[in-house]
Amino acid sequence: MYIPTRYIDTTEVEKAVDQVIKTLGPEVVRVRYNVGEDWTGDPALYFRVVLADSAVNVRDLDSVGRVAERIRRPFFEQLQPLERWGLFPHFNFRTISEEDQLKDPKWE
């Protein structure tokens, strides 16, 4: 079911997202997010997660997978964005070292 983003109570979404962010471990330096639309026009949540360098070995896909899943899972199970607002959560990750080199305002 298509729900235009203008009909989503973003204040309610932000409040719920912030609650989940508070439960994340110290490996997470910060999380930035926004409500947007995916390539089909469906509303979606876009998370940008900055991790401590010590949290993950970027050359080891098993380590990458474990850390990413540990952070993604609460956003599916506690936040339940699909059930509550029809928002699919998408995630992008950087280490703090990677972000320090890029200085991307959307991630700061």
Partner 1 sequence: MAYHDELLQLAAALTNRADATQAELRRAVSTAYYAVFHLLVSETTLNWSRISSRNALGRMFDHGLMKRVSDRVADPKKMPYDGEDPSIVDGLRFVAESFVELQGQRHIADYDNGQIWTQLDAGVPIAIAKTAFHAWDQIKHADIAQEYLVSLLIRPRD
Residue with smaller CB distance to partner 1, 15 or 65: 65
Residue with smaller CB distance to partner 1, 33 or 93: 93
Residues lying near partner 1 in the complex (CB under 8 A) are found at 38-40, 42, 44, 51, 56, 58-59, 61-62, 64-65, 68-69, 76, 80, 82-83, 88, 90-95, 98, 102, 104
Give min distance, CB of 1 to partner 1, in A.
9
Residue with smaller CB distance to partner 1, 17 or 51: 51
Q: How far apart are CA 55 and CA 93, in angstroms?
A: 12
Q: How far apart are CA 48 and CA 50, in angstroms?
A: 7
Q: How far apart are CA 103 and CA 75, in angstroms?
A: 26
Residue with smaller CB distance to partner 1, 21 or 75: 75
Residue with token string 């973003």:
10
Give start and end residues of each alpha helix (H) in 44-95: 61-77, 81-85
CA angle 29, 70, 2 (to 5 degrees): 95
Give min distance, CB of 10 to partner 1, in A.
20
